[in-house]
Chains A and B, each alone.
Chain A
Amino acid sequence: MFYREAGDYKTSYQDDGQTFPIKFDRYRYYFVLFVAFAMVPFLINDYWVNAIFLPFLIYSIAAIGLNILVGYCGQVSLGTGGFMAVGAYACYKFMTGLDIWIGGVQYALPPINIFFSVILAGLVTAVVGVLFGLPSLRIKGFYLAVATLAAQFFLVWLFNKWSWAYNYSASGQINAPEREIFGVAITGPSTEAWATYLFCLVIAALCAIVARNLTRGASGRKWMAIRDMDIAAEIIGVNPLKAKLSAFAVSSFYIGIAGALFFAVYLGAVEVGEAFGIQKSFIVLFMVIIGGLGSIFGSFAGAAFLVLLPVLLKLMLADSTDEISGFSSAMSWVFLVAFAAAVVMLVINIIRTRSLIAGSGVGWIFASIAAFMAYALTIGGMGWPTDIVAHLQLVIVGALIIIFLIAEPHGLAQLWRVAKEKLRLWPFPH
């Protein structure tokens, strides 16, 4: 009832092929765009931008990129961190003025506008991505994952050793100088929250729209055909070489843009091993898995989830408004016991029914978690030690990945789809 397609007749293939064929979806999409572009910039401050919005937008771009490769084309990659580093360093070189040494003489380009630096950084990363994508023509699955892992370590090593890449700075770091668009600072120390946010939002929105256009058309079908059955794809005329390499190129283009923004707009200063290490590859891969393989919306959902989770956990568990009262710590024990009981029930049910889904206590677990969250947020944080919270975050992310892989391999995007299906009829049974 709340989500209807009744009376929404399509009279042309053009209408039928649009991104949001259902009116309700379309209006919601316009509404989200309106809020993001016209309302959020007036409401946010530095904390919100740096803690949530910038990492969310930048990781979304990276996740869309990786999703094109892993989710749409079926080629596993663990090189995301390395490719982000390529984007960051390329952007750095372009925004500080690319220099070339020929015969002992240095020729330098003038610094390029930050927007075009970011785009050019994406293009450079696309070329690098294609180079490291070449093994995909011969190897698949785990073996390809290991080959891309080599890219990850090689690229981080390269940017540590290659002093040209960091303009021979003594620290080996790269620092983003102040750069402006229309007179408004986008990078550097004196930026304003709304400016950096809008800059990343525009790029993220463009990236998402282009990714959607690519994946709903001929390219997307080529990629998905390769993913689902490469032999059959070849027999209908898909050139596997071109299809795979184009997926690597587009994917790396996105990841390079994300790396450039991550360095220039978000962090401002980068040491390659720290910012773009192997953990970055995994985080983006987790975003894609939790969000949903083969879904643009899923990329956003996964990025939002993994960016929000630490913030939420910190708000709920670590922060505390005043001294922890005896009542609050007692309550945390109550919830812990409830949660443990729910887990035990779930395990017993799984063993008894020999099924992961049938009659299990998943609902109870969700209920106890939800109750705990509500309680923790209302009292303004449980005041637990921060290191415990940090570890708990790892536990939760790990558990969620296992749960998603088993119960819902298509991630949050699929849960969202199922919810919409249910909402079509709700609250009526038929």
Chain B
Amino acid sequence: MNDMSTDGYTTADGRKIGGTLMEMKNITLSFGGVKAITDISFDIKEGEIRAIIGPNGAGKSSMLNVISGFYIPQQGEVWYQGAKRPQMRPYEVARQGIARTFQNIALFDGMSVLDNVMTGRLNHMTTGLFAQGLWKGKAEAEEVANREKAEKIIDFLEIQAIRKTPVARLPYGLKKRVELARALAAEPSLLLLDEPMAGMNVEEKEDMSRFILDVNDEFGTTIALIEHDMGVVMDLSDRVVVMDYGKKIGDGTPDEVRNNQDVIDAYLGVSHD
């Protein structure tokens, strides 16, 4: 595990970033003949905000799905918290402390906001069926303790007023926030955000950016996010991976990436002559 002890660094705004939390090594993923990801390696360090960007179809969401266990790469290794991760089902990945949100919201429509956030606590609730049926005692104590944790997240994301509302009734921007709340309620060590600001107006984007920074700041959560809004990405993230056609074409601080010729070519197009 020598290669996992890569040292941390200090960001431009003075935050200390720790050692490597997750490392992707030579990941290759294909669907039949289509190669979604080709031989990509990158790492995510403890406490940083890591962005994955790239044009449409670059394989960013596939990458997130590999991390969260939905896709199993044909080649490559996923290292997490200093150990090679064996093949896992998504729920096992979740139990390792990785939470995520989805590009198109995946909330539980039949449940209230509070219940949705409480589902994020399920991994921390261990009472058996029998005790739950009795309720009084262990199950109730556990419910109350986890409710307190969930309420903290609800306060943090300022959704107190809607906690009893069924999520199906909420507007888009709030749904995104509830989804973030559900992911945070799990107290993840790594939070994956798939386009957290897609389809939002400027104000909503500002709110969401503030929440992401606050989460990172207050809980020290490591965040990996996919986002298309370059302004947001460059402002928020500490380091950026750039993908194009399933390959990694750039990796570094926002400034480095911004001046990378390959990246500029991928985004602006290049004349083939």
- Which A residues have a C-beta under 8 Å from some C-beta of B? 12-14, 17, 210, 213-214, 217-219, 221-222, 224-225, 227-229, 231-240, 246, 250, 294
Contacts and interface: CB of A to CB of B under 8 A. Distances in A.
Contact of B122 (A12, A17, A221, A231): A221
Contacts of A221: 111, 115, 118-119, 122
B147 A213 contact: no
Interface stretch (B26-34, B126-134, B170-178, B195-203): B126-134
22 contacts: A13-B147, A17-B140, A213-B133, A217-B132, A217-B135, A218-B122, A218-B142, A221-B119, A222-B119, A225-B108, A228-B111, A229-B109, A232-B102, A232-B106, A232-B107, A235-B94, A235-B100, A237-B123, A237-B186, A239-B89, A246-B129, A294-B110
Interface of B: 68, 70, 89-91, 94-95, 99-100, 102, 106-111, 115, 118-120, 122-123, 125, 127, 129, 132-135, 139-140, 142-144, 147-148, 151, 182-183, 186
A359 to B, nearest CB: 25
B119 A225 contact: yes
A228 B109 contact: yes
B68 A235 contact: yes
A213 B90 contact: no
Contact of A238 (B91, B107, B111, B182): B91
Contacts of B115: 221, 224
Contacts of B94: 234-237
A237 B95 contact: yes
A225 B118 CA distance: 11
B110 A17 contact: no
A236 B144 contact: no
A141 to B, nearest CB: 16
Nearest to B144: A13
Contacts of A246: 129
Given A217-B139, A232-B108, A239-B91, 11 more contacts: A213-B139, A218-B139, A218-B142, A221-B118, A224-B115, A225-B122, A227-B110, A235-B90, A235-B94, A236-B91, A236-B182
B186 A236 contact: yes
A413 to B, nearest CB: 13
A225 B115 CA distance: 10
B91 A213 contact: no
B99 A218 contact: no
A210 B90 contact: no
Given A236-B99, A236-B119, A17 B147 contact: yes
A228 B108 CA distance: 5
Nearest to B134: A213
B246 to A, nearest CB: 23
A210 B133 contact: yes
A224 B111 contact: yes
A160 B129 CA distance: 34
A234 B91 contact: yes
Contacts of B102: 232
A240 B122 CA distance: 13
Given A234-B89, A237-B91, A238-B91, A224 B133 contact: no
Contacts of B109: 228-229
Contacts of B125: 217-218
Contacts of B133: 210, 213-214
Nearest to A207: B133
A165 B99 CA distance: 50
A217 B135 CA distance: 8
A229 B107 contact: yes
B122 A238 contact: yes
B248 to A, nearest CB: 25
Contacts of B123: 236-237
Contacts of B129: 214, 219, 246, 250
A12 B143 CA distance: 12
A224 B108 contact: yes
Most buried by B among A14, A214, A228: A228
A240 B133 CA distance: 20
Nearest to B94: A237
A228 B90 contact: no
B153 to A, nearest CB: 13
A123 to B, nearest CB: 12
A222 to B, nearest CB: 6
A229 B132 contact: no
